[in-house]
Amino acid sequence: MKKRLGIVLAAAALILALFETAGEKRIKEAAAGMRKILSTEKTAGEEKDAPVVALTFDDGPSARYTSRLLDGLKKRDVKASFFLLGKNLEGNEEVVRRMHREGHLIGNHTYNHVQLSSLSETKAREEILKTNNAIYEITGAYPQYMRPPFGAWKKNLELCVEMLPVFWNIDTMDWKTQDVPAILKIALTQAEDGSIILMHDEYETSVEAALAIVDRLQEKGYRFVTVDYLITP
């Protein structure tokens, strides 16, 4: 366990350092490398009978589409990870409670979808903590994971907010294309064991594509997990 924890911390430090010196491509490569390291370091007694992927959704909850997505995931017995915007919580409390009740991971995506690396440390903390407190008021649990908008993490911010940033290695571009076949092509051709798939739950096409991704990858033997399974010891 200590050895694996050391590997996790070293890999996380490498990824955070790259944010200061490298482009997005290098960052995603480092994140993928971290997942591969963790995969090979699983304990002997841990089940690893199928390739695993994590389906993640940013920018919700959506009053119009998130419940429909939750219905489809429940039907398929799949748990996903939702990174919520604080400004979208009001009026969608029951949707968030349902996420929590049905075992999905709920994470933080800032309050106003801001680029944290461009803010002062004080403002960045406010964006995160305001959302954490709002989620706690709804679910009774504080989020432990943070999806920084635009993948832009602020150096050493994890030390003052005590959250682990979560990135991705498959960007479906669902928000841009809003085209189901195009989304499916990206996800299905790039998926591999340990992939973290980035999507958004505010578009009808994204919901349709996400459920199709689940169906296709399950047919191939993949198992869907929440992101904590992939990035923590």
Q: Which residues are known catalytic residues?
A: 58, 200
DSSP three-state, residue 164 = strand
DSSP three-state, residue 140 = coil
> DSSP H helical segments within the chain, as ranges?
2-21, 24-40, 66-75, 93-101, 121-139, 157-161, 174-177, 180-190, 204-219, 227-231
Beta carbons within 8 Å of 152's beta carbon, 6+ residues apart: 19, 115, 116, 117, 118
Instruction: Name the residue with tokens 């432990």.
Output: 144
What DSSP string describes 72-107? HHHHTT---EEEE-GGG-TT-HHHHHHHHHTT-EEE
Contact between 192 and 202 under an 8 Å Cβ cutoff? The reply is no
Contact between 106 and 132 under an 8 Å Cβ cutoff? The reply is no
Instruction: Name the residue with tokens 């009808």.
Output: 204
